[in-house]
Structure 1
Amino acid sequence: MDTKIDEITPSEWDLMRIVWTKGKVQTGELITLLQRKRDWSDSTIKTLLGRLVKKGLLATTKDGRKFVYHATVEEAEAMDETVTELFAHLCAMKKGATLADLIQKTPLTAADISRLQGILAEKAKTAPETVPCDCLPPDPAVSADDAADCDC
């Protein structure tokens, strides 16, 4: 079964984050933990669990009379696919500014910052002067230089 990472709702993300953190979790514990964050009924949480199983993102095993849930996709894979999908919708010219804003607003460890600095230093070696806009299809009547002056 194909997983449907691109279809995870914000509510389902809350649930998945608990499962990823715990590794394996019984229904009762999952409900207790999620109700500490959200004012949701047991049936709402069970509905979300069912949807995530249908989407191929969770699997269940039975432990006596209890169900145990575990993720079928790694958290890093889900985050990467989600971010990649989101950035695919953005103007290529504005992705750098969006990343800069995101970095500015995100709490980072010293190790995170060091890693980012290393990545940026490597990218700087081959970075172009400008990134062309990709919002509109290329116009054969417009030169590449004029297309770079896009105001989108």
Structure 2
Amino acid sequence: MAELTQKKITDAEWEVMRVVWTNGQATSREIISVLQEKMDWKQATVKTLIGRLVDKGLLATEPIGNKFIYSANVSEQESVGGATEDLLAHVCTKKVGSTIAELIERATLSHADVALLEQVIAAKKLTAVAEVKCMCTPGQCNCKQNGCVHKEESPDGK
């Protein structure tokens, strides 16, 4: 499964995968029905996307009569985890905290979501380091050119 989570899923392919993840398995007709309503995509577009996902090994096919049943070879959680790792790999390690903070600010969260985040942060405090080291190649960020410009502030702003 780890090899499959490393395969890139395009934004359009995510739409197909979400239908399959939600239903556990689906026919092309079921996938087309959902995506025609949500995205106004044509049948041929959806079938092309399904074919790409099968070629990537992300969807399995099972023939039943004259139709195919599609199921995911990778879980939604694994795929989201891979996408998260991919996002964070594109950010200076010193900016990961502020990137996560921005994601939280932009998201609509329930009280349960906020409570979960508070638990994760409380646990993370136990293993937090005094300073995150920049892992960028010189020229990819300002840390190594101008000294550290991404200094972490304490919660009281100092």
The letter for the 1-side match of 2:121 is L
Q: CA deviation at 1:149?
A: 3.6
Contact 1:27 1:67 in 2 (8 A): yes
Is residue 2:49 matched to residue 1:51? no
Name the counterpart of 1:141. none
Distance in 1 of aligned mates of 2:50 and 2:126? 46
Report percent identity of matched pairs: 44
SS in 1 for 2:4: coil
Contact 1:12 1:52 in 2 (8 A): yes
SS in 2 for 1:151: coil
Where structure 1 has 5 or more consecutive residues not aligned to the other structure, the ranges are: 138-145
The letter for the 2-side match of 1:116 is L
Name the counterpart of 1:76. 77
List structure 1 runs of 4+ shifted beyond 3 angstroms: 146-149
Distance in 1 of aligned mates of 2:5 and 2:125? 35
The letter for the 1-side match of 2:112 is A
Aligned length: 144
Bigger shift: residues 80-89 or 1-10:
1-10
CA spacing shift, 1:147–1:132, aligned 2, 3 Å: farther
Distance in 2 of aligned mates of 1:102 and 1:117? 15
CA spacing shift, 1:47–1:5, aligned 2, 3 Å: farther
Contact 1:4 1:55 in 2 (8 A): no
Contact 2:5 2:79 in 1 (8 A): no
Is residue 2:29 matched to residue 1:41? no
Contact 1:6 1:82 in 2 (8 A): no
The letter for the 2-side match of 1:115 is L
Q: CA deviation at 1:3?
A: 2.3
TM-superposition CA deviations, 1:24-59 (whole Å, max 9, x none): 111111101111111221111111100000001001
- After TM superposition, the score normalised by the length of structure 2 is 0.82
Is residue 2:152 matched to residue 1:151? no
Q: What is the alpha-carbon root mean square deviation over aligned residues?
A: 2.2
Q: CA deviation at 1:5?
A: 4.3
Q: CA deviation at 1:62?
A: 1.6
Q: CA deviation at 1:8?
A: 0.7
- After TM superposition, the score normalised by the length of structure 1 is 0.85
